[in-house]
Amino acid sequence: MSKDTPAKLIDAAVILFAKKGFSTVTIREVAEASSANSALISYHFGGKEGLYRAVLEQQFAEVGRALLSVSTQNERPLDRIATFAWAIINLHQTNPYLLRLVNAELSTPTPSFKEVVKLYIGRNFEFICQAIREGIEVGEIKKEIQPEYAALALAGIINFYFLAKPLEQQFVTMNSDSDSEYGKQAIQIYLNGIRRNGSE
């Protein structure tokens, strides 16, 4: 059995919205890419805006699933941070459109987006902050580190690479395992950066 029309439309729209941004994409484009009729977008989703909302919901459902496994583990703080970072890297690899969609909303978040994001991103942010606080308490992490800023630094070092990939490819030649190679380097730099060294 082949996919039904709403699913076909969403699948095509995810790619187009991620690549070109909401306003640049036309419903005729989406229709052609999904071999459906443009009128069906209004019929099934109430319009272009409704299709976009459906796309966001489908994509963010993935985030919740991916990170559920991490937060239930119980390693030591530094290891927990590394596990989390790899989960994010894996998420971006398996779902390359997610970050682009988020990015489009970064500068001027829409109200509906804010709600969705605050839930998913806020949860992750708190998870990392907590791991850092614990790390400081048990002496694994330098006590000068401020958990909130250090959490943002981790977000930057992991996410920016995937975000700017189209630009980066103009300067660095990348192959199939550049992502995990970057992950190794980035996580190593970050953990060494916050780790409390014995001498101190």
Q: Could you list the residues that contact DNA (CB under 7 A)?
A: 4-5, 25-28, 36-44, 47-49
User: Could you tell me where the DSSP H helices lie in 3-76?
Assistant: 5-20, 27-33, 39-45, 48-72
Residues 73 and 118: beta-carbon distance below 8 Å: no
Chain residues that interact with a copy of itself, rule: CB under 8 A:
18-21, 23-24, 100, 103-104, 106-109, 114, 117-118, 121-122, 125-126, 144-146, 148-150, 152-153, 155-161, 163-164, 166-168, 170-172, 181-182, 185-186, 188-194, 197
Reduced to 3 states, what is the DSSP secondary structure of residue 195? strand
Q: Which does 36 bind (CB under 5 to 8 A by kind): DNA, a copy of itself, none?
A: DNA
Distance CA 135, CA 19 (A): 39
Q: Which does 152 bind (CB under 5 to 8 A by kind): a copy of itself, DNA, none?
A: a copy of itself
Least distance between a copy of itself and beta carbon 164 (Å):
6
Judge residue 87's burial from the number of C-beta atoms within 10 Å of its C-beta, 0-12 exposed, 13-18 middle, 19 or more buried: middle
Least distance between a copy of itself and beta carbon 140 (Å):
14
Nearer to DNA among residue 24 and residue 180 (C-beta): 24
